[in-house]
């Protein structure tokens, strides 16, 4: 089984008190990603984009955490991914229960 190549959205800097990941993007964000699902490297849904703030060239992204806080804390320093609708369909077609 081949892996689905996902582009990294950014790296988790911290988990805020309001249960959001603060993610520093890897580059400019195209379009409005609000309410899109966010996955980790294992294609597990970890959150939903809530807001994009900061400089256009490399903004910060607030992602509402959908995991227990203990698990969320383990993702600090890790890359998160913003799959396209097509990529989500491919993941589902493979029978992944994670999305």
Residue 63: name the closest of 3, 5, 16 by CA: 16
Reading the chain (99 residues) residue by residue, the pLDDT tens digits are: 446 678 899 999 999 999 999 999 999 988 889 999 999 998 888 999 999 999 999 999 999 999 998 899 999 999 999 987 788 777 677 665 555
H-helix or E-strand spanning residue 60 = strand 60-65
| pTM of the complete model | 0.84
Residue 9: name the closest of 20, 18, 19, 33 by CA: 33
pLDDT of residue 1: 43
Rounded CA separation 13/94 (Å): 31
Domains of the chain, start order: 8-93 (2.40.10.230)
pLDDT of residue 3: 62
H-helix or E-strand spanning residue 87 = helix 85-93
């Amino acid at each position: 089984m081949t892996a689905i190549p996902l582009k990294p959205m950014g790296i988790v800097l911290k988990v805020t008190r309001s249960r959001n990941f603060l993610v520093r993007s890897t580059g400019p964000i195209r379009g409005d990603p609000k309410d899109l699902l966010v996955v980790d490297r294992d294609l597990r849904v970890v959150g939903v984009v809530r807001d994009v703030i900061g400089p256009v060239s490399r903004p910060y992204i607030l992602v509402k955490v959908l995991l227990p806080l203990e698990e969320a804390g383990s993702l600090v320093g890790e890359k998160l991914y913003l799959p396209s609708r097509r990529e989500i369909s491919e993941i589902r077609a493979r029978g992944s229960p994670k999305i």
